[in-house]
């Protein structure tokens, strides 16, 4: 039996591993649309829009993460060119798709490896999932 842990996390951008991930999360929600017929006594729903968001804290120990972080921490405005393909993997499992980085934060403490925390929003459905 295989077990996965936070140490197995990686983040890939444009097909290249850019960082090891110390913590991450992905959340998927589906809105429900009320389709209740007023002649019925109970409410009825159908699935509506899905939204997938996530966050990752990455180790920023070399220049590989610069193109990823440069999509949000930059001197220019953010635009459509800042939609990027990322893959979040752990062991042989992964989720990948087109995302917009919605926030980014760099942090560093004495005696620690510099880290960056990103929040992202998928645009459209994931392009591939291997759970």
Q: Which of 47, 80, 60 is nearest to 19 (CA)?
A: 60
pLDDT digits over 22-49, tens only? 888 899 999 999 999 988 889 999 999 9
CB atoms under 10 Å from CB of 13, counted, come to 19
Residue 115 region, left (φ>0) first, then alpha (ψ -120 to 50), else beta?
beta
Question: Strand, helix or coil at 57?
Answer: strand
Q: Which of 123, 120, 130 is nearest to 57 (CA)?
A: 120
pTM: 0.81
């Amino acid at each position: 039996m295989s077990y996965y842990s936070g140490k197995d996390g990686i983040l890939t951008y444009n097909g290249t591993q850019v960082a090891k991930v110390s913590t991450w999360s992905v959340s998927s929600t589906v809105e429900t649309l009320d389709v209740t017929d007023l002649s019925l006594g109970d409410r009825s729903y159908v699935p509506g829009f899905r939204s997938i968001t996530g966050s990752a804290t990455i180790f920023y120990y070399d220049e590989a993460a610069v193109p990823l972080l440069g999509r949000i921490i930059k001197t220019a405005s953010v635009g459509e060119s800042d939609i990027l393909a990322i893959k979040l993997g752990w062991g042989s499992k992964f989720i990948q798709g087109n995302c917009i980085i919605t926030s980014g934060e760099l942090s560093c403490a004495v005696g620690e490896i510099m880290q960056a925390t990103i929040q992202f929003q998928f645009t459209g459905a994931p392009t591939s999932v291997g759970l």
